[in-house]
Amino acid sequence: MPTARDTTAKSDSAALDADPDAAAAHFWEMRLSPDMLDEGQPTPLYHQIYMVMRSVIEQNEVGPGTLLPGEQTLTRLFAVSRITVKRALNELAADKLVSRHRGRGTIVAPRSSIPMVRSSFDNLIESLQEMGLVTQIELLEVGEVSAGDSAAGSLLKLPANALLHRVVRRRLLEGQPLAYLITFTPKDIAASFSVEDVAHKTFLALLERAGAAPHEAEQWITAVAAEPQMAAALDVSVSAPLLKIERIMRDASGRPVQLSLGYYRPDRFQYHVRNVTLREQRGAALAAE
Amino acid sequence: MPTARDTTAKSDSAALDADPDAAAAHFWEMRLSPDMLDEGQPTPLYHQIYMVMRSVIEQNEVGPGTLLPGEQTLTRLFAVSRITVKRALNELAADKLVSRHRGRGTIVAPRSSIPMVRSSFDNLIESLQEMGLVTQIELLEVGEVSAGDSAAGSLLKLPANALLHRVVRRRLLEGQPLAYLITFTPKDIAASFSVEDVAHKTFLALLERAGAAPHEAEQWITAVAAEPQMAAALDVSVSAPLLKIERIMRDASGRPVQLSLGYYRPDRFQYHVRNVTLREQRGAALAAE
DNA sequence: CACTATTTGTCCGTATGTATG
DNA sequence: TCATACATACGGACAAATAGT
């Protein structure tokens, strides 16, 4: 992780320890290469380079203030023309990820520093406050849909002519968009929910009041590209990656009482699993093989 | 799901039930629209259309034998020129997802039916076989990196001059790309790993042999956009959403013994969590509020 | 202060790819 | 299929700003 003027920078090579600039150069030589790009892809080269550089910055491989290699150097490292490199760097600048100045170079911009939520579902009682208090809810839509018109109907195991209570909300973290949440509840359970209720009370409380207290839950976690609607609500670009958490909650009798679809900004929310025990962890290890 | 000559086709509208062709037309009218394309994106329009149609086919929204709308119709639905639609359909044909015949139209090809893996880490001993036997591993890279040159070093809590054993692999499911896996192991633990070992044995076995049997694991799950390299390996386009699972494994003494970064195709892998108990589930419910 | 090396900005001409009608 | 327009990518050239000598 080379920093612009960091005389304490270390490296594996003793020769590089003395010279921080050489250490930084070594870092980029190792990190960037022409085979990170693919001519066969329909995506333009400048955007592929943009993706690589953005990843380096967002994954904190280089810190704010770091001087990126010059256009000439990147031209050599990626084996493309200078115009192509320039365009990639300009896209980074347009996204405020770097700042560019003639004669000075391209410098990694300071972090926006919006805190990240790490939701762990094995000890969430503690992070409950972090999650519940620092974040706000915005009610976007309330309405009804036919079970037959929505994939939610079959997941909740309802006949096609049944009605579903549908709520769309947005969760904010420190005033910044965090998640886009769609909740489906069977009409008979949601009959007593008023708009006021939905806007101000938790669904957990409402479900308990309706005599449909959740007893178990099942979740599927995956990644999706942001569709225009949620992209606008979450202030990301269309097709940006989002973490999707689909959850079905059932009551003590096993009847599905709620389906929720949550779309989370990955830069502000991570799903955390810890203390995987040995038995599970053997599975986890195998899955990573 | 309209099928070419399926008189039993159903729809939410009674009027459409009588005419299967009208029902199919209605399906496509609802499913496709110009909003699904983004002129502002660097990805060419023909490829965006290709992605949309491929998704429709691979998600089983239409079955094999289904007649796709003609080029004229797609030209209208997507609001692009006929040549652009033609190119998208030709790419689908090149991928053997459809067959095209003059005068007949474009027909969805029989399924290769790539199953989806649902990795649940609470009962993985059973799906262990599913995961271990049905999938294959390809070794892409083996090498060493300096801890200081990689973010992995600090995560494994190693000094900057320490060495890391780095392995890049690809996991295939039924011959199709499933995951791109990068594994970092401290050099002292990995000293006994040969290339043969890495290519044919599980890391779990190798770690146990090296006296660094994993005892606990911690995971972070998030979504990222595919970089060019992993996009090529996973056969997705650059910037496609991928599920990222970062995992640190520690031995009984708490020392980190391995860091693995897994990038999974969301259409072939989902992280599944079930049987969330009441205490956890109250937290889960709140997080979704 | 000038001089120089470095770095980004701008412009040209050309070839190919993308998209329209 | 053709003609047209714009985007992408290349190589090259020169100008303008910056930092160090």
Q: What are the beta bridge partners of residue A196?
A: none
Q: pTM score, two decimals?
A: 0.86
CATH homologous superfamily for B117-272? Chorismate lyase-like (3.40.1410.10)
- Whether the domain at B32-108 and the domain at B117-272 fall into the same CATH topology: no
> Smallest Cβ distance to B288: which of A46, A181, A228?
A181
A44-48, A154-158, A165-169, B277-281: the lowest-pLDDT one: B277-281
What is the C-alpha to C-alpha distance for residues B127 and B67, in angstroms, rounded to an integer?
37
Residues 64-123 of A with CB under 7 A from strand D: 80-84, 87, 101-104
Of the candidates A122, A63, A157, A6, the residue with the CA atom closest to the CA atom of residue B219: A122
Domain A32-108 classified CATH 1.10.10.10?
A: yes
A44-48, A202-206, B66-70, B176-180: the lowest-pLDDT one: A202-206
Contact B156, B259 (CB under 8 A): yes
**β-bridge pairing A269-276 and A117-120:** parallel
Out of A71-75, A127-131, A247-251, B250-254, the most confident range is A71-75
Whole-number pLDDT of residue B230: 94
Residues of chain B neighbouring A44 (CB-CB closer than 8 A)? 42
Who's near B58: CB < 8 A, 6+ residues apart? B97, B114, B267
What is the C-alpha to C-alpha distance for residues A237 and A50, in angstroms, rounded to an integer?
15
A44 touches strand D (CB under 7 A): yes
- At position B278, the amino acid (one-letter code) is L
Between chains, do B121 and A280 touch, taking CB under 8 Å as contact?
Answer: yes
Between chains, do A222 and B249 touch, taking CB under 8 Å as contact?
Answer: no
Domain ranges in chain A are: 32-108, 117-272
Alpha helices in chain B (DSSP H): 14-17, 20-31, 45-58, 71-78, 82-94, 124-133, 151-155, 187-190, 195-200, 203-209, 228-234, 278-288
Which of B43, B47, B136, B289 is the mutation pick for testing A, counting most A CBs within 10 A?
Answer: B289
Per-residue confidence band for A239, with pLDDT thresholds at 50, 70 and 90: confident
Neighbours of A96 (CB within 10 A): 10
Whole-number pLDDT of residue A100: 97
Structural tokens at position B58: 């691979």
Whole-number pLDDT of residue B288: 53
Between chains, do B125 and A279 touch, taking CB under 8 Å as contact?
Answer: yes
Residues of chain A neighbouring B43 (CB-CB closer than 8 A)? 42-43
Search chain B and give the residue with CA nearest A262: B288
Tens of pLDDT, residue by residue over B124-169, are 434 444 555 567 889 999 998 888 777 788 888 888 888 999 999 9
Who's near A187: CB < 8 A, 6+ residues apart? A144, A162, A163, A164, A165
Q: Which residue has the higher pLDDT, A83 or A279?
A: A83
Contact A117, A149 (CB under 8 A): no
Q: Above 60 in pLDDT, residue A11?
A: no
Whole-number pLDDT of residue B134: 66
Q: Per residue of chain B (289 residues), what is the pLDDT tens digit?
A: 444 433 333 344 444 455 677 878 888 998 899 988 988 889 999 999 999 999 888 877 888 999 999 999 999 999 999 999 999 999 999 999 999 998 899 999 997 656 666 665 544 434 444 555 567 889 999 998 888 777 788 888 888 888 999 999 998 887 889 999 999 999 999 998 888 888 877 788 888 888 888 888 888 899 999 999 999 999 999 999 999 999 898 988 889 999 999 999 998 888 887 755 544 444 555 555 5
What is the C-alpha to C-alpha distance for residues B73 and B105, in angstroms, rounded to an integer?
12
Between chains, do B216 and A277 touch, taking CB under 8 Å as contact?
Answer: yes
Tens of pLDDT, residue by residue over A125-146, are 444 455 555 678 899 999 998 8
What is the C-alpha to C-alpha distance for residues A41 and B231, in angstroms, rounded to an integer?
9
Whole-number pLDDT of residue B132: 56
Who's near B267: CB < 8 A, 6+ residues apart? B58, B59, B116
Nucleotide nearest to B86 (CA to C1'): C19
| Overall average pLDDT of the A99-128 stretch | 73
